[in-house]
Structure 1
Amino acid sequence: MSSASSPGNSPGRNEKVLFWASFFTLIAAGIGFSVRGFILKDWGNQFGFTQSELGSITGGGLVGFGIAIIFFSFCADQFGYGKLMMVAFTLHASSAIVTFAATPIYGMYGKEGAYWCLYIGMWLFALGNGTCEAVINPLTATLFPKNKTHWLNILHAGWPLGLILGALIVLGFKQAAPDVRWEVKLGVFLVPVLLYGLMMFNRPFPHSEAKSSGVSMGTMVVTLVSPILLFLFFLHALVGYVELGTDSWIGNITERVLADETKALVAFIWTNALMFTLRFFAGPIVEKINPIGLLFVSALMGTAGLFMLGQPFTNDIWPWMFAVTIYGLGKTFYWPTLLGTISERFPKGGALALGISGGIGMISAGMLGGPGIGYKQDYFAVEKAKEIAPATYDRYKAPNASGFPVFSNIAPDKLPPVAGLDNSKLKVFDDWGGVIDTDGKRKEGKKTTLESDLETVARLESEGKPVGAELKENLNKLKDWWEKDGRPNYAADKDKLGEARLYGAKQALLYTAVVPAVLAVGFLLLIFYFMATGGYKQVHLEAARPSGRPAGGADAGDWGR
């Protein structure tokens, strides 16, 4: 087994393999995250979830991502990076098994069973992502100690590339196999999981820069209470909310605004292609303006982009593409540049500082960003529906109210639970528009999903196969509701429902623009701070290692050890 070559010099073959394997971990995370974003409506339609419930599913996964990063950052050097990557591989594979079980479990235990399969599957996927993140950020900082921000941006270009590939997967299946199930689309993320597993198997990993320099765990912990570092952690919480929280919903919202899934996919691919390309050129940009200046400009652009996306004039394809481009430019450098700043200014924090910062960002996205944006869509859609068509709202409201997690309990008057629009009813409504012509007459041979599901249940029963009692009951209730309330009022409800749903989506983005605005203020304060203290400078550690040992040390890193 070859030892790790010196990361202070030109990286050797082992280091290059480790870096690109790390890149593949983010591709896997991006594909899984992207495809999930586009199949949220499939989950809502199939299992009858509201936007708030879907937000809780996606949000829980991001919380798991953050917890894993923080937990494994405390023990990464002691446990061994190679063994952690074996844990990550196992978690990624098991997440697919649990998530794919949602459909059969729904047939046996109904909506609640499906919810827990998707929720736990999301947690397992996120724990796998978080375990990877606890390794790859300090690993990259160790391999490229003189150009941390640049190489961390290149590393994190794997995330938008994964998002792009996820969108292309959805688009490809839409064109070639439009009826393929969501399980097939999601399962593609296992390909890069297998690739990073094979690339990292049986390879030595270097220790973090801090450990190689003799920095103790106690010193790392003390470094965490630096006021500037604590402020950077707070800013990373805001970054998690606005970047990953918005990414959880932007595909779904774009499709709502443009009323076309293909156009929504194109817009999603474009913004992430922009991010992927620009992250490869972060080095020259940082040379012109320091990382804090880059983050300040990014926050301003993110604010402007989200503000425009929330305005009525962006309801058409080209204004929307312009606004989403500004938003994409804004979010490009947030995450890796903030990690680079922490590694450059607080190297004694080691893997721990990087892990806690990334973990805070993920937990914020999971507890606040994903659920919060879902809640805002429900809140404003209900507000509009009650204003313009209260009878329509009564017909389509969900049976149970959902709130903004955490804050609904703290401020129930300002963030009250709301009964959002029921996605299972909306699916029947949307399907009906596809089976009738412009005169309102039924197209020959066309069926709604509800009709197909009822036929499937009848066929299974005739064949003596088991059918979940709750599933059958829910389908029959939905049929009765449609025949009694939905179909007779379809023409009257059509425009009103569309207006309310569009309003909810746009207002959610408009209110989210407040978050990057706060970020801009925070980065501006940091600019003033560094101006007053002699300017932004990188801090480097001198290695303290036994004679003859390669820089960065070497962890045997075998998955079998």
Structure 2
Amino acid sequence: MITIERNKLFWASCLALLVTALSFGIRAGIMNKLGTDFSLTTEQLSVITAAAFWGFPLAIVIGGFVVDIIGMKKLLVMAFVFHLAGICLTVFATGYWTLFISTLLIGIANGTVEAACNPLVASLFTGNKTTKLNHFHLWFPGGIVIGTLLVLALNYINIGWQVQVAVMIIPTLIYGYLFYTLDFPVTERVASGYSTADMYKATLSPLFIFMFICMFGTAVTELFTGQWIDVLLKNVTGNPILILTLTTGVMVIGRGFAGPIVHRFSPQGVLLMSAIVAAVGLYLLSTLTGNSIFFAAFIFGVGVCYFWPTMIGFVAEYIPRSGALGLNLMGGAGMFAVSVYSIFMGKYYDGLVLKHLPAGKLASAEAINTAKSLAGPEVLRLTLVIPIILIIGFTGLNFYMRSKKIKQAAAVKVNAV
């Protein structure tokens, strides 16, 4: 007899997402060290970073197509194997290609975790999906906080980046054991009786396509800025990694209190407010310097706090027939957009640094630092265009959902008469 231990499955999912987040937080903290140790350019570092975002959409989209067939448990055992392999290869990396392959493997593991855990959480909590997805996804910024603080602490006592990466093996082994021993439910779509044809039809609906496109913008605004904060603002403030720690700390608290906020303002209302605050925060990050930049980081953290889980929660709530495929296509869209944007911006950043260097002579260390301090905020100002576009899009979404609700209420009233 199958016994579904809902709380154990939820906490095992949170632990798996913690490993995903640690990979982001630790990598963000050691990015400059990797560049120095292996003599890598910013463009090469951007390609390595993007590898995680390539592996993620690849795994999450494929997982979306097969999760109903092979089950969520097998996907999560695969995630464990990929995580373990990627972490070990990173620890023993010898240069650009081993770092690229190891990051790609970790990206595949991260995508596989989301491919299984998003539909798992939605299946475990069918009556409270958006709130529980926010609670689940608070472990992503939470893991980044833990990862960045871990990097700072271990750097302070001169522990190498290899040991910092190896720390991730411990939670990986724990979540792998838990998922291997627990029983799993079927996905919500299968339990509800929606056919595969219903699922594909739902993912081709105008509302889903609109949310799919918006996911590009919400993911880039949140994840590109977070992953590149150490590089972009290294010469603007003495502790750029603390900016990421503060931002993600705000996100943890915000997602923990998501329930009353989502119920009060609706998912689409939360998305609109998030886009407005994120735009303000990104503008402040690109203009303020010194200690005042931590205020900007706080505002930005409030802005991006609800983006990812509420985008997925909106689809789970309002387009349920899209099933696990719909949730995973959303995640894949977000990570793919970040991978492309990271490569483009890595090259753009290098170009800006060269533009700001003195012409016709060998640049001093001071001149290079000055050029970098000018280039980083310029990248953020260009990225600011994205949340501004999202404000327009989410305003339209709110009007659409409001009119749809009015029409449904009118139809119910007519039928009652």
Range of TM-score over shorter length: over 0.9
In the other structure, the counterpart of 2:400 is 529
Question: How far apart are the structure 2 equivalents of 1:264 and 1:526?
Answer: 35
Match of 2:20 among 22, 26, 29: 29
Q: Equivalent residue for 1:283?
A: 259
RMSD: 1.5
Q: What is the one-letter code of the residue matched to 2:300? A: Y
Give the drift of 1:80: 1.6
Distance 1:282 1:293 in 2: 13
Deviation at 1:365, TM superposition (A): 0.9
Amino acid at match of 1:271: T
Q: Compute the displacement of 1:532 (Å).
A: 2.2
1:484 matched to which residue of 2?
none
Aligned to 1:456: none
2:359 matched to 1:390? Answer: yes
Contact 2:234 2:373 in 1 (8 A): no
Q: Structure 1, unaligned stretches of length 5 or more? A: 5-13, 104-113, 397-492, 538-561
Structure 1: distance between partners of 2:178 and 2:40? 39
Q: How many angstroms apart in 1 are the aligned matches of 2:123 and 2:97?
A: 39
Matched, 1:307 2:283: yes
- Structure 1 residue 377 corresponds to structure 2 residue 349: yes
Q: How many corresponding residue pairs?
A: 408
Corresponding position of 2:179:
200
Q: Return the letter of the residue paired with 2:334.
A: G
Find the structure with the greater CA-based Rg. 1
Residue in structure 2 matched with residue 499 of structure 1 by the alignment: 370
Superposed CA deviations along residues 386-405 of structure 1, whole A, max 9, x for unmatched, are: xxx1145xx46xxxxxxxxx
Q: Can you list the C-alpha shifts for 1:4-62, whole angstroms capped at 9, x where unaligned?
A: 2xxxxxxxxx1100001100111101111111111111111112211111111111211
The CA distance in 2 between the partners of 1:170 and 1:362, in whole Å, is: 24
Which position in structure 1 is the counterpart of 2:268?
Answer: 292
Quote the offset at 1:379 in angstroms: 2.2
Does the aligned pair in 2 maintain the 1:64–1:123 contact within 8 Å? yes
Identity percentage of aligned residues? 32
Are the aligned partners of 2:42 and 2:346 in contact in 1 as well (CA < 8 Å)? yes
- State the 1:97 CA deviation: 2.5
Q: Which residue of 1 aligns with 2:150?
A: 169
Q: Which amino acid aligns with 1:513?
A: L
Gap runs ≥5 in structure 2: 409-417
Q: Secondary structure at the match of 2:115?
A: helix
> Is 1:122 aligned to residue 122 of structure 2?
no
Deviation (angstroms), 1:67: 1.0
Instruction: Note the 1:343-362 alignment, pairs <5 A.
Output: 343-362=316-335
TM-score (normalizing by structure 1): 0.71
1:91 matched residue in structure 2: 82
Corresponding position: 1:336 with 2:317: no
Distance in 2, matches of 1:16 and 1:535, equals: 37
How far apart, CA to CA, are the structure 2 residues paired with 1:249 and 1:310? 13
CA distance in 2, matches of 1:301, 1:384: 31
The answer to whether the 8 Å contact 1:256/1:502 transfers is yes
Distance in 2, Cα, partners of 1:367 & 1:139: 29
Give the whole-Å Cα distance in 2 for the aligned partners of 1:208 and 1:382: 52
Distance in 2, Cα, partners of 1:373 & 1:303? 18
| Separation in 1, partners of 2:352, 2:233 | 17
* Alignment correspondent of 1:269: 245
Q: Are 1:60 and 1:367, in contact at CA under 8 Å, matched by a contact in 2?
A: no
The answer on whether the counterparts of 1:26 and 1:158 sit within 8 Å (CA) in structure 2 is yes
After the TM superposition, which of the residue ranges 519-528 and 370-379 deviates more from structure 2? Answer: 370-379
Distance 2:42 2:345 in 1: 9
Distance in 2 of aligned mates of 1:495 and 1:97: 37
If each structure's helix is expressed as a fraction of its own residues, which one has the higher value?
2
Aligned residue in 2 for 1:436: none
* Offset of residue 499 of structure 1: 1.3
Residue 442 of structure 1 corresponds to none
Structure 1 runs of 4+ aligned residues shifted over 6 Å read none
